[in-house]
Structure 1
Amino acid sequence: MSQTDLISPARFLGQLPQHLPHVPRLLRGLYYTRITNRDKKLSLAWALELCTERFPTRPAVMDEQRTLSYAEFNAWANRLARVLQHDGVGHGSTVAVMLENRLEILAVLAALAKLGAVGALLNTTQRGNVLSHSLNLVKPSHCVVGEELHNAFCEVHSGVPSISAEHCHWLADSDTLRAPGEAPQGWRNLALLARQEADDNLAQSRQVRMKDACFFIYTSGTTGLPKASIMSHGKWIKAYGGFGYSGLGLTEQDVLYLTLPCYHNNAVTVCWSAALAGGAAIALRRKFSARAFWKDVQFFQATCFGYIGELCRYLLNQPPCPEERNNTLTCMIGNGLRPSIWSEFKERFGIQRITEFYASSEGNIGFTNVFNFDNTVGFTPATYAIVRYDLDRDAPLRDRKGFMLKAEKGEPGLLLSEISKKWPFDGYTDPAKSEAAIFRNVFKKGDAWFNTGDLMRDIGCKHAQFVDRLGDTFRWHGENVSTTEVENVLAAFPGIEEAVVYGVEVPGADGRCGMAALRLNAGQPLNCTGLASHLQEKLPSYAIPLFVRLLDEVETTGTFKYKKTDLKRQAYDPALVQGPVYVLLPDSEAYVVLQAEVYQAIQQGRQRV
C-alpha cells in the first residue's frame, strides 16, 4: 500500500467541494441505504415503475437490434407477469431462470419482482450434477428456460421433482417480442402467451416489501457445490441508494454498457439499480469481448460500463484501436480493479470516475467509492471492524478475555460487519451455512458480526482497501474457484493419493491462479498428459490448476486441515520448491517441467499462463 492511498480528514474535506452540487442526490441515496423498516413497500418493481413514470419515452434496455423505452419495457414485464400469475406464480414462489444475457432475462426478472416471486438465477455454465444440485437447493415450483439452455435443463429435469412439466415456460432464442417461435412439445411458450395479456401495472407490485426475497444468487462453496444466497429487495434498495443515487449518479441521458453475466449480482443488482435510479439505459451484450468492446461503446454511445478487474486487464492488454480514442465513456462501476493498473486504466481510456465497490451476495455490508478517491473500494455507512488475523492458524487473534483485536489503520486484517436491525444478515437458504458465517462475542458478550472472509485495510475516513480473500476459495478470471472441488477432482485421478489446491499470484494478472501440491502413490510417476486431459474434462477452464508440484508428505493441522501457508509462499518458484514444478501453458495438452527461463518470462510478463 502506498502512503498516498491513506485518506486523512484534511484530504477528505478537500475532496468534498466538487461533490456539493450532488448533495441532494447523495442524501437521497443515504436515505435508502439506512432504511430499517423492512416491512416498507419498496422493491425492484417499485423502482422500475417509478422510473417509468418519470422517463416513459427514454430508452430502458437495448441490444444490437432492439431499443425499448421504459414504457415499452415495463409493459412487457407486466404481460409476462400476468402469464406467470395465471400459472400459479405468486408472492414467495421460486422460479428457476435459465437465460443467457439478452433483454428477455431482464424482462422476466422484472415480471417476477412485480409478483413478489423469487428468481433463482442459474449460472448458465452449469451442467449435470452441479445444475441439478443448484435447482434442488431452492426447490423451484416453476422455470423459465431459454431455447439456448433447453437441452441443459432437460438433461437434469427428471432429477428436480419440485418442477412439474406443466410449469415449464420456454423462450425462443430470438427477438421474442416479434418472433415468439414454436415451443417444444409439453412446454408453455411464455412470449406467445404474453401477447394476449394486459400491459398495465399489477396491484401486487406495490405490495412487495423490503424483507421479501428478490433473487437467489449462487455463490461458490467450500464443499465444491454452489450455495444459494438470498438477495432481498431490501438489499437491492440499499444498492439502488448506494450505487445509483450516491455512487454513480447516472441520468436519463446515460447508457450503461453491460457484458457481465446476469446471474451475478454485479449485473442485476449493482448495474441495474444504478441505471434505474437515474433513468439510464442498459445496453446488454451476450458475452464480453475485448476486441468488440470499443466498437460496442461507440455503437451504443455508452457513457458507463460495468466491470470486474479481469475485464479491465483484458482491455489494457489489447493494442490501441481507433474506437477507443475520444470514446464516450466517462465512468465505470464494478469491483476488483487493482491499484497496480488503476491509474493506467483511467489515463489510457479517459475515465473520470471509477465507482469501485465491495459487497457480497450473502453479506450485509457494502462499500462504494462515492467520493471518487483512487485505489479504494470506497466508503460505507455500515458498522464494520477490521480485526487482526493469524494466517498460519487461519483464525482471528483474540485477547485474554477472548475478544478480537482491531487492526491499526493501514494494517491488513479480516473484515467483519456488525449484524443489527439496520444491517440485517439475510444469509443463505441453508440456516447452518448462515450460522457458520457469523462470529459471536467479538467485542462484547452477545454481539454478532458477519465474517466476510476477506482481508481489508482501513485507509481512513471510513474508507477501505481490498487486500485478499481468505479460506478455501480464490478468484481467477473473475470466477470463484473452490479448492475443495478441485481437490476432489484431482483425487479421482489414478495415482494421486492426496491433493492440496491453493491460489498463487501471477505478475500482471488479477486474482490468483490455481496450483496443486500432489502426493502420489508409492512408485507412481506423474502422468502429465493424462492429468491435463482429466482436468480439462472435469473442470471449467478457470478452475484448472496451472502449476503442479509433488510432495512426499502433506502437512495438516490438528483438525486435519491442510497447511497451505508455506505452499502459498513458495508458490511455483523453482528456487524455493524442492523437486520439479510443472506448468500447463496455454493451448498445451500436457503439464511440462517449468524451466528457469520460462519462470522468468512469466515473472516479467513475457509468457502468459
Structure 2
Amino acid sequence: MSQDNVSALDIARSLPGVIRRLPAITRGLYYYSLKDQNRELTLGTLIESNAGSVGNRPAILFEDRSITWSELNGWANRIARYLQDRGLAKGDAIALFLENRPELLAVVAGAAKLGVACAMLNTSQKGKVLEHSINLIEPKMVVVGEELTEAFDGIKTGIKTDHPQPFQFLADTNTLNAFGDSPAGYANMASEVSTFNSDEPVLSDPPTMGDTAIYLFTSGTTGLPKAAPGSHRKFIKAYGGFGLMSLAMKPEDVLYCTLPLYHGTALLVCWGSVLAGGSAIALRRKFSASAFWDDVRRYHATTFGYVGELCRYLLNQPPSEQDRNHSLTKMIGNGLRPSIWKEFKERFGIETVAELYASSEGNIGFSNFFNMDNTVGFSTAPYKLVKFHDGTRDPIRDDKGFMKEVAKGQPGLLIGEITEKWSFEGYTQQDATEKSILRNAFKKGDAWFNTGDVLKEIGCGHLQFVDRMGDTFRWKGENVSTTEVENIIDGSGLVEEAIVYGVEIPGTNGKAGMVTLVPQSNGRAFDANKLFKYLRDNLPAYAVPVFVRVTQAIEKTGTFKYRKVDIQKAGYSLGDSSDNIYAWLPRTDGYTLLTPELVSEIDGGNVSF
C-alpha cells in the first residue's frame, strides 16, 4: 500500500485478521453501539464485572506492585464508601492531582461507583493555570498526591470549595498498607479509607451510562484550559471500539502505559481497552526512552499506548540486538507519522497499529480497524472535510452562507455532525461549547462540531491526519493554547505585545512554541532569561515557547489583525532582520541567542529537541 492510498485490495488483504477477531468484534460492536443513557452500565460496573470473572488476575502493575481485579474492586468500594460518608453523592465532582500510580485509578473507580465525577488535573500545570482549572469544576474535594503538594500549596488559598475537608492527601507510597503523615490542612485519605469495608456501596440513585464520569482539560482557542465532561458512555465506547474491536484484548494481555492518565488517550483509550479484556495496565509515572524496553520485558507487555512523539523518541535510541526481544505485538494511540510508521513496525516487530483520531470533548472518532498503514482509519459517525481559511479554524462559506467540501484527497477541516446518536458533550462553559459548534453549515438548522484539525481522505473512507489549525498546536504530545501562553506573557510586565504560534523543527513531531514580542520601551535592554524564569514558573514545560523573536514592531492588517501566517512562515530563521531570536536548547536552563551556525544545526536536525 502506498503512503497516501488505501484500496479495496488492501482492505481485502486485511480480512483474515479481521475474521480472527470476529468474536471480539461482535461483542465490541454491541457495546460501542449502546445508546440507552439511563442504563446502569458504568465504569464502576465494568470493574465489578471483571472482579467477578477474572478476580485473581492482575489489573494494575506498578513498580513492584501487582493489584488484582478483586483487590481493585474492593479498594474502589472502600473509597466510594468514604466519599459517601463525607457527604458526596451522584452529580458531585472531585479533582485529582496525582502522577501515574495505582491510587489515581482507584480513586477514579471509587468515585465512579457513586456517580461522582473526577476532574483529571494536568500534573504539569501550576500557578494561575492550575487554579483556573480547579475552579472551573468547583469540586467538593481535591485529592493531592505527596509528589505534587508543593505545586498545589502555591494556589491552595484560591480554590473555591464549600466542603469541611476539601483537601485530601495521598502519600507517595503503597497506600493500601502504608498511609504516611498528611501535612497540615489535609485529610489523610488513605488512612480514612482503610476504615471502611469493601462491599459494594448501597445507593438509592445509582449512576447510569449518561452521567458524567470524568472531566478532561483541553487547551482550546479561548485562552485558559476548558473542562470537557466525559460520560460513562465514553468508557463503554472505548471498551467496545478499541478494547474489543481494534485490539481484541484478553485477560493475559498487558498494556504498558507511560502516557499521563489525565489525558483521554491514557485514561479512556488505554484503560478502556484494558477493562474490555480483563487485562492488566502496567503504569510508569513518566515516559523514559532508555527504560522503555526493559519495562516491557519486566511486565511481559503485549500492547502499549503511544503518541507519535513517543515513537520517535524510541526510534532515536541506538539500534540494539534487543530491539525485538520482547512480547509487544500491538500498539494503540495517535500521531504516528507516515514518515516513521513502517520503520517503527519493522524495527520493533509490531504487528498491529491501532491508530485512532479523537478528542476529549469531540463527538467523532476514527479507528484503524483494518490495521492499514499510515491512516487514522475510518469512522461510522457522520462527518465532512470542508474548505477553510489558512491559519485559522474557520471554514469558508459561499454566497449563501454554506460550507463546501474539499475535493477527494485534498486537506480539509474535519467537522462532525451533531445528532442524537452523535451528541456533543461540550465544555462546562456554555460560551466555549457554542464556539465549537458550526450552525447552518449545509442546510438551515443543522449543527456540526468543529474539530479544528485538518485531515485528508486516502481511499475507502480512510483519513490521514495533516495538521492542527488555528490557535492550538501540539508539542511533546500536548495541545498548547496560543492564547493561554499569550495571556501569561502579557502578565510578565516585560512586553508591550506578543503573538504565539507553532513552528516546525526538522526531526520532531508537532510544532514547537514560538513567540514574537515587542519588549517594554523602558530604556532597559530586554532580559530574555528573566522572561524564561517567569514562563517556567507559570506554564507547563511543554507550553514554554522554544523560540523567542524580539522585534520593534509586529506587522498588522488594516483592521489591526496580526499577520500571523506571515510571522509563522518566517519561523526562527534569521534572514535579513535585525531581530534577536532566542532558543531554549535541550538540557539548558535559559534562552540562547541564535547564530547562523546554530540555525544550521537546528535545520539539519542535529539538535535533539
What band does the TM-score fall into relative to the shorter chain?
A: over 0.9
Aligned-residue offset at 1:590:
5.3
Pairs within 5 Å for 1:52-451 = 52-185=51-184, 187-204=186-203, 207-321=206-320, 323-391=322-390, 395-451=394-450
Conserved in 2, the CA contact under 8 Å of 1:245 and 1:278? yes
Alpha-carbon distance between aligned partners in 1 of 2:46 and 2:446, rounded to the nearest angstrom: 34
Mean Cα deviation higher: 555-564 or 288-297: 555-564
State the secondary structure of the residue aligned to 1:16: helix
Mean Cα deviation higher: 508-517 or 182-191: 182-191
User: Hey, what does 1:486 align to over in structure 2?
Assistant: 485
Count of residue pairs brought into register by the alignment = 608
Q: TM-score, normalised by structure 2?
A: 0.94
State the secondary structure of the residue aligned to 2:88: coil
Residues 1:374 and 1:175: Cα distance change in structure 2 (over 3 Å): same
Conserved in 2, the CA contact under 8 Å of 1:495 and 1:524? no
Residues 1:206 and 1:52: Cα distance change in structure 2 (over 3 Å): farther
State the secondary structure of the residue aligned to 1:396: coil
State the secondary structure of the residue aligned to 1:158: helix
User: Hey, what does 1:21 align to over in structure 2?
Assistant: 20
Conserved in 2, the CA contact under 8 Å of 1:34 and 1:422? no
User: Hey, what does 2:47 align to over in structure 1?
Assistant: 48
Aligned-residue offset at 1:3:
5.2
Alpha-carbon distance between aligned partners in 1 of 2:577 and 2:330, rounded to the nearest angstrom: 44
Alpha-carbon distance between aligned partners in 2 of 1:559 and 1:446, rounded to the nearest angstrom: 32
Which amino acid is the alignment partner of residue 594 of structure 1? L
- 1:230-280 CA-partner distances (Å, limit 9, x unpaired): 011112211111111111111111111111111111111110010010111
Mean Cα deviation higher: 22-31 or 345-354: 22-31
Aligned-residue offset at 1:104:
0.8
Residues 1:269 and 1:595: Cα distance change in structure 2 (over 3 Å): same
Alpha-carbon distance between aligned partners in 2 of 1:516 and 1:378, rounded to the nearest angstrom: 35
Mean Cα deviation higher: 371-380 or 187-196: 187-196
Residues 1:142 and 1:584: Cα distance change in structure 2 (over 3 Å): closer
State the secondary structure of the residue aligned to 2:416: strand
Alpha-carbon distance between aligned partners in 1 of 2:148 and 2:391, rounded to the nearest angstrom: 44
Alpha-carbon distance between aligned partners in 1 of 2:368 and 2:576, rounded to the nearest angstrom: 39
Mean Cα deviation higher: 194-203 or 268-277: 194-203
Aligned-residue offset at 1:575:
4.0
Conserved in 2, the CA contact under 8 Å of 1:135 and 1:160? yes
Conserved in 1, the CA contact under 8 Å of 2:128 and 2:538? no
- 1:8-55 CA-partner distances (Å, limit 9, x unpaired): 233323322321121232132223222232222221112212222221
Aligned-residue offset at 1:508:
0.8
Query: What is the CA RMSD across the aligned residues, in angstroms?
Result: 2.3
- 1:358-393 CA-partner distances (Å, limit 9, x unpaired): 111111111111111111111211111110112157
Aligned-residue offset at 1:572:
2.2
Residues 1:446 and 1:145: Cα distance change in structure 2 (over 3 Å): same
Which amino acid is the alignment partner of residue 295 of structure 1? D
Seq. identity, %: 50
Which amino acid is the alignment partner of residue 572 of structure 1? Y
Which amino acid is the alignment partner of residue 607 of structure 1? V
Aligned-residue offset at 1:410:
1.5
Which amino acid is the alignment partner of residue 395 of structure 2? P
- 1:341-361 CA-partner distances (Å, limit 9, x unpaired): 111111111111111111111
Residues 1:577 and 1:372: Cα distance change in structure 2 (over 3 Å): farther
Conserved in 1, the CA contact under 8 Å of 2:125 and 2:540? no
User: Hey, what does 1:571 align to over in structure 2?
Assistant: 571
Q: TM-score, normalised by structure 1?
A: 0.94
- 1:106-159 CA-partner distances (Å, limit 9, x unpaired): 111100111111011112222232222111111111232222233433443332
Which amino acid is the alignment partner of residue 179 of structure 1? A
State the secondary structure of the residue aligned to 1:390: coil
Which amino acid is the alignment partner of residue 457 of structure 1? K
Conserved in 1, the CA contact under 8 Å of 2:224 and 2:483? no
Residues 1:193 and 1:489: Cα distance change in structure 2 (over 3 Å): closer
Mean Cα deviation higher: 520-529 or 297-306: 520-529
Alpha-carbon distance between aligned partners in 2 of 1:323 and 1:163, rounded to the nearest angstrom: 55
Which amino acid is the alignment partner of residue 232 of structure 1? S
Alpha-carbon distance between aligned partners in 2 of 1:187 and 1:255, rounded to the nearest angstrom: 35
Residues 1:184 and 1:470: Cα distance change in structure 2 (over 3 Å): same
State the secondary structure of the residue aligned to 1:169: strand
Aligned-residue offset at 1:566:
1.4
State the secondary structure of the residue aligned to 2:286: coil
Conserved in 2, the CA contact under 8 Å of 1:42 and 1:210? yes
State the secondary structure of the residue aligned to 1:500: strand
State the secondary structure of the residue aligned to 1:291: coil
Alpha-carbon distance between aligned partners in 1 of 2:273 and 2:536, rounded to the nearest angstrom: 38
Alpha-carbon distance between aligned partners in 2 of 1:493 and 1:178, rounded to the nearest angstrom: 45
Residues 1:59 and 1:576: Cα distance change in structure 2 (over 3 Å): farther
Conserved in 2, the CA contact under 8 Å of 1:332 and 1:354? yes
Alpha-carbon distance between aligned partners in 1 of 2:171 and 2:204, rounded to the nearest angstrom: 27
Alpha-carbon distance between aligned partners in 2 of 1:488 and 1:130, rounded to the nearest angstrom: 10
Mean Cα deviation higher: 501-510 or 313-322: 313-322
Aligned-residue offset at 1:281:
0.3
User: Hey, what does 2:608 align to over in structure 1?
Assistant: 608
Conserved in 2, the CA contact under 8 Å of 1:364 and 1:424? yes
State the secondary structure of the residue aligned to 2:176: coil
Conserved in 2, the CA contact under 8 Å of 1:165 and 1:187? no
Q: Which runs of 5+ in 1 are unaligned?
A: none
State the secondary structure of the residue aligned to 2:497: strand
Mean Cα deviation higher: 106-115 or 229-238: 229-238
Which amino acid is the alignment partner of residue 351 of structure 1? I
Conserved in 2, the CA contact under 8 Å of 1:581 and 1:593? yes
State the secondary structure of the residue aligned to 1:245: helix
Mean Cα deviation higher: 199-208 or 299-308: 199-208
Alpha-carbon distance between aligned partners in 2 of 1:392 and 1:152, rounded to the nearest angstrom: 35
Which amino acid is the alignment partner of residue 572 of structure 2? Y
Which amino acid is the alignment partner of residue 85 of structure 2? H
